[in-house]
Amino acid sequence: MMRLVSRFFAFNRRLSFALEERLPAGFRHHLHTLYKYQVADLLNRRPHQIVIDVGGGKECPFLPFVDDPGGHVLVALDIAEGELRQNTRVDLRVVADATLSGLPLRDGSADLVVSRSLAEHLRDTRAYFANCARALRPGGTMVHAFPCRFAPFALVNRVLPTPLVRRLIAYLLPEWAAEGNYGFVAYYDQCYYSAIKDMLRANGLTNDRFVFTYYQSMYFTPFFPLFCVMVSYDLLLWALGIRNLASGMLVIAERPAVDAVLPLRPAAPAESPAATELAR
Counting residues of the chain whose pLDDT is more than 70, the rounded percentage is 89
CA 192 to chain CA centroid, nearest Å: 13
* Residue-level pLDDT at 261: 47
Dihedral (Cα; 179, 125, 31, 28), 10-degree rounding: 110
Sequence-ordered list of residues with C-beta below 8 angstroms from that of 56, at least 6 positions apart, any chain: 75, 76, 77, 78, 84, 87, 90, 93
* Residue-level pLDDT at 276: 39
What is the C-alpha separation between 188 and 148, in angstroms, rounded? 7
Residue of 9 and 273 predicted with greater confidence: 9
Instruction: List, for residues 96-144, the tens digit of each pLDDT value.
Output: 999 987 788 889 999 999 999 999 999 999 999 999 999 999 999 999 9
Strand ranges of the sheet holding 136-147, from the earlier edge strand across to the other edge:
92-95, 73-78, 50-54, 110-116, 136-147, 248-254, 206-213
In the chain the first and final C-alpha atoms are separated, in Å, by 64
* Residue-level pLDDT at 105: 85
Instruction: List, for residues 206-259, the tens digit of each pLDDT value.
Output: 999 999 999 999 999 999 999 999 999 999 999 999 999 999 999 999 999 975
Closest CA to 122 of 159, 155, 149: 149
Average pLDDT of span 152-180: 79
Domain residues for the domain of 193 are 2-278
Lowest-pLDDT choice from 30-34, 157-161, 186-190, 263-267 = 263-267
* Residue-level pLDDT at 181: 57
Look up the pTM and report it.
Answer: 0.87
Lowest-pLDDT choice from 22-26, 109-113, 261-265 = 261-265
Q: Is the pLDDT of residue 275 over 70?
A: no
Counting residues of the chain whose pLDDT is more than 90, the rounded percentage is 75
**Count of domains observed in the chain:** 1
* CATH at 165: 3.40.50.150
Q: Is the pLDDT of residue 62 over 90?
A: yes
37-52 CB burial, b ≥16 within 10 A, e <16: ebbbebbeeeeebbbb
How does the average pLDDT of the chain come out, rounded?
A: 89
